[in-house]
Chains A and B, each alone.
Chain A
Amino acid sequence: MNNETSTLHNRLALFRAEAGLSRKDLAEQVGVNPQTIGFLERGQYGPSLELGLKLARVFGVPVETLFSLEPFAPLATTLAAPRFAEGGR
């Protein structure tokens, strides 16, 4: 099984929380078992391309916004970056 221990990083939990969706809600929208959403969020399972695209469609973002081969920067760093770029105000 090549996607059992995934090296794929994702922001699924972040997007799901922001959208106010439960795992069950999200699972129903993409047609998987709710437990699978948990496995995806913990990085214990790498989704197929089809499932990745379905998840990205739910949140209305490109798939690379949700999944990455490189670790995502921490949210605090990402949020702070534009302020520093504007002159550190």
Chain B
Amino acid sequence: MGQAVPFTPPRFSTRRVRLLSTLALAATLVGSVAPLLLPIDGSGAQMTVLRLIGWALALAVTVGSPGWRYVKPGELDERERAERARALVISHRVSGILIGLAFIWLLAGGTGRLWLPSAEQASWLMGLVYWLHCALPATIMAWRDREEEM
């Protein structure tokens, strides 16, 4: 007896994933990092909305493309499975490096010699890392794919 699938995610085209991932990265990066570097109020409405838009776009990429999300058996062919495995490995490494850098930053910051973000600012950066982790496999797959003449 077949198991009922409660939700079948959509599958975005390569072009759409490329566009959404670029917009998501730009919005999240600007909304999270720019307030730390420039005299911008990061808690203000504009930056908050920008971050939310970036996170929503990253969620769309994550759900609408077979990267980090669950993939049904038979949904991908053998090349796509291989590409996905490769993208997941790269994303895992990127996440590991970012977590490692954050760890070093915290250790160095604990001595008082390095600037540390406030809890609110740290949450923006954590959001950036989290959504990067979720959306990166799909993004890598989309940018490695090609528009083929059929």
Contact = CB atoms under 8 A, between A and B. Distances in A.
B150 A23 contact: yes
B49 to A, nearest CB: 36
Interface bin, chain A? 20 to 34
Contact of B86 (A4, A33, A37): A4
A40 B85 CA distance: 18
A24 B150 contact: yes
Contacts of A23: 148-150
A12 to B, nearest CB: 13
Contacts of B120: none
B146 A38 contact: yes
Interface string A24-53: 100000011111111110000101100100
Contacts of B76: 33
Interface of B: 76-80, 82-83, 85-86, 145-146, 148-150
Contacts, number: 42
B79 A39 contact: yes
Q: With a 10 A CB-CB cut-off, give which of A22, A23, A39, A47 has the most chain B CB atoms.
A: A39
10 contacts: A1-B82, A4-B86, A23-B149, A31-B77, A35-B79, A36-B77, A38-B146, A38-B148, A38-B149, A45-B82
Contacts of B145: 35
Contacts of B150: 22-24, 34
